[in-house]
Structure 1
Amino acid sequence: MRSLIVSCNVTVDGFMAGLGNDLASLDFIVPDSEQENALAARFREVADTIVFGRQTFLDMEAYWTKVDSDMAAWINATPKVVLSTDSGADVSIWNNTTLAAGDGAERVRRLKASEGGGLVMFGGVQTIRSMIAADLVDEYWLKISPVAVGQGSSMFADLPERRSLTLRGAKGYPSGMLDVTYAK
């Protein structure tokens, strides 16, 4: 069975978006090419498919198709699956992309049961929350920025009960960024 890795940027106080899931507040992310290159190398080792929610897909396509980096090369070359309740959503704007319309959790269950390497999910907040609620996330690869914002949206906001995670690794960077990997 394939594993689902959620990879996202979060503040030191645990938020991945502003109030109301406002992604314009992502100005908290500290640019760090060393961290990005290390993460791209890790993705290449374990994952062969990227999973997005539809809005995150649009936001990421607008950025990564215009950047020249190891991460951009990996993202642009890797097959992508877009979860959407809209069966008519157009995902043809980015190469190697297919639409998985309908119940996102069910679509991810099918992907996990299929042949292949790991799945990396880049979210957004609601999509990640739905995967956590369906108990489909195997690992969390958190890129923690050395910034506290005090309020916003957390991927864990709607947990019905406490979840304990196991630390798999942590690495700090001179920029203050921290990569932390947890498994369920």
Structure 2
Amino acid sequence: MVITDKVELPTFEELEMQEVDLSTATLMAAAPHLGLRCEEVNNEFMLCRQETGDPRACLPLGKEVTSCTLTFFRHLKATCRDEFAQYANCIDKSSGDFSLSQCRNTQAVLDKCILDKMCVQRPDFGYFTRARVHETQRPRVEGEEGCCVEGAVPRLPDDAPRPRARFNSRYHYMTE
């Protein structure tokens, strides 16, 4: 990405935060419970990113998301370490593409442990794909959506004429 000297970048002190340095299998094993536990903070961060179009404006919220994740994994380690390690190891070793189908028994054991000790129930299938309204306390960003570049081509109005493609579609050539 090319930037000009007028763009102010955050300092290293503003960016400094402990990383969540975990493996893919570990993150996949905890993903549903982590997503549920940190949903509010993550939605706030994503709303900020969407409204401002500038990741620099959302650094504090990004730190909150990372902090929530670290807190969740510390609590998980303290309460269900063995069950979680067994499930993550199953995901890692059972297939080459991190398939979960071979690990349903260890998943059930982990889900029970997390429900009993952390009071977090595994969300049902499709929970994260449902549309939900997120209520925020942040003031709404005024102006056009996203980041605008000087001299950018303006969007077409919704009622603009949309003629058919001049030389047909590509699909016609792909089916022959």
For the aligned pair, the TM-score class normalised by the smaller chain equals under 0.3
Higher relative contact order, chain-length normalized (CA < 8 Å, sep 6+): 1
Relative to the length of structure 2, the TM-score reads 0.23
Structure with bigger gyration radius: 2
Relative to the length of structure 1, the TM-score reads 0.23
Give the number of the structure whose residues are more often helix, by fraction: 2
